[in-house]
Structure 1
């Protein structure tokens, strides 16, 4: 008889990718689903989640004015397919709106501005306080792109990504190695999500802000596609670079405990779009969350 973990591994194998998963309820139980969930994996844009929480902690501490406005020039923007990086004119936004753009549409430019505002030290302090000893953020997206250009021996970010998408080349770049880039474990990401959802890391106001922003992520091709039911909320953050496709999320059914799930993958093929891997992320999340669903005591 196949276990839940066996079924999850089979989904990853059928999709042609390596995969790592961890899921737990956002309560005080110890139940979990883990498929190599303690292994270190590449974060990609998942690093924006601890950055976001560190920003909100700064607001709670009175160190950051979330309404203060910043002007970002196009020449200063980190490249990216979404957010302010695609705009042609200077943009003035509040810090809070930059954080929102960073999380909802994975805005690379907004993320690097925000990281410059609060500093890596604030992120490291958050990680230490929550006990995320295997998670590290080594820099922002611009730092990663500079390294990627160097590793691929190209001259621009666009050329570097074109090189990564070539199936005839076996690129061994630091962006794919958790020893050299921002990294975490699936288990530590569900621990962070549980800490957020239970109010253990932020004030009630900032907890509500984080939850509401994460529920607004528009991408529905990964975990959200597994839960199309009316009334079900999926609050997530994706992460993608080359063969790396990830998502962490909290899935909330009405009258039930929220379930945190973290899925990280590395595809065998370098194609920039692989719907079969996105579908696998959804399916393994569905399997894990279904196993962990429990009603609230007063439901």
Structure 2
């Protein structure tokens, strides 16, 4: 892999072998995966199923975050506005307000922090109550994300999993046949996008095209505060390489989209979406391959062309 401190400027078709290496990494980890990576400034890209329609799960919180800031920019809401989170009736989840036991009062911007940093489902639905699904879809449509669409709240998303699992409850999700019938893993019946749409959104955020610079900086800050190191960030274990992103998960689904920034100024938007063959909830290799695949793609974008290896092949 390349030195993270050395940046080159390849053309748009550099390293055609990268796609094969990415697919081999997915296969070795026991997942089917789709990836798009793009140099935010030059437009050079790596496409490994970039136009595949995929389940976004909590990745769609990024779309909500952008819509929230666009609404604030337009004067339709104030980010310091307070919202009430009652003790009962919260959207389920293991983090943030979703896991807390008492009533709370939080600003919209702090709810956004919880939604991104720890993927708090309750915080996300509090924001959706204020912003609305229509505004989220209007936002993505205006940004040219033609295959990105939100159809449900996060409470509704989780409800379909419970309903489709049937009387077996959460234990039924260990059965591949049960998982296969879940609406939550079918992009035609839940919130959806494509890897290419997601890198287009990230590029717009980093170039201050999605919002004014003030709001763009706020969005980038929150994405940089995500706490999960086991997916995209695992591929870039360098103190001077910054990774900002948003994960998404559902049964057999592990995703992350984000931007990798190098000390020489290189900025790369990466979107990785996967489906695991195993329904097991804990699959470290399936999480880690997101970072591996992203690193292969970014290394390819940072390398000027194919290089011969000691084995006489093209790497």
Fold agreement, TM-score > 0.5? yes
Structure 1 position 144 matched with structure 2 position 144:
no
Please report how far the alpha carbon of residue 140 of structure 1 lies from its aligned counterpart in structure 2 after TM superposition. Answer: 1.3
Deviation at 1:74, TM superposition (A): 2.3
Unaligned runs of 5+ in 1: none
1:199 is aligned to 2:208 = yes
CA deviation digits over 1:118-173, x for unaligned, max 9? Answer: 11111111111111110111111101122222212248xxx2x3321345755311
Q: CA RMSD in A?
A: 1.7
- 1:233 matched to 2:251: no
| 2: CA distance, partners of 1:231 / 1:170 | 40
**Local SS of the residue matching 1:76:** coil
1:15 aligns with 2:24: no
Deviations along 1:8-57, whole A, 9 cap, x unmatched? 00000111111000000111x33210111101001010110000000000
Please say if 1:128 is aligned against 2:141.
yes
Displacement after TM superposition at 1:70 (Å):
1.2
CA offsets per residue over residues 79-124 of structure 1, 9 Å max, x none?
0000101111001110110011001100000001100101111111
**Equivalent residue of 1:262, what SS?**
strand
1:113 aligns with 2:122: no
Q: Is the deviation greater in 166-175 or in 35-44?
A: 166-175
Residue in structure 1 matching 2:60, options 47, 50, 57: 47
What is the aligned partner in structure 2 of residue 76 from structure 1? 89
- Corresponding residue for 1:276? 285
1-structure distance, mates of 2:244, 2:220: 7
In 1, Cα distance between the equivalents of 2:174 and 2:73? 42
Report the TM-score, using the length of structure 1 for normalisation.
0.93
Contact 1:166 1:271 in 2 (8 A): no
Residue 43 of structure 2 corresponds to which residue in structure 1?
A: 30
Mapped partners of 1:105, 1:211: distance in 2 = 15
* 1:5 aligned partner: 19
C-alpha distance in structure 2 between counterparts of 1:294 and 1:60, whole Å = 39
Kept after mapping to 1: 8 A contact 2:248/2:254: yes
Following TM superposition, the consecutive aligned residue runs of length 4 or more in structure 1 with deviations greater than 4 angstroms are: 167-170
Gaps of 5+ in 2: 1-14, 305-315
Contact 2:245 2:259 in 1 (8 A): yes
Structure 2 match to 1:104: 117
Equivalence for 1:95: 108
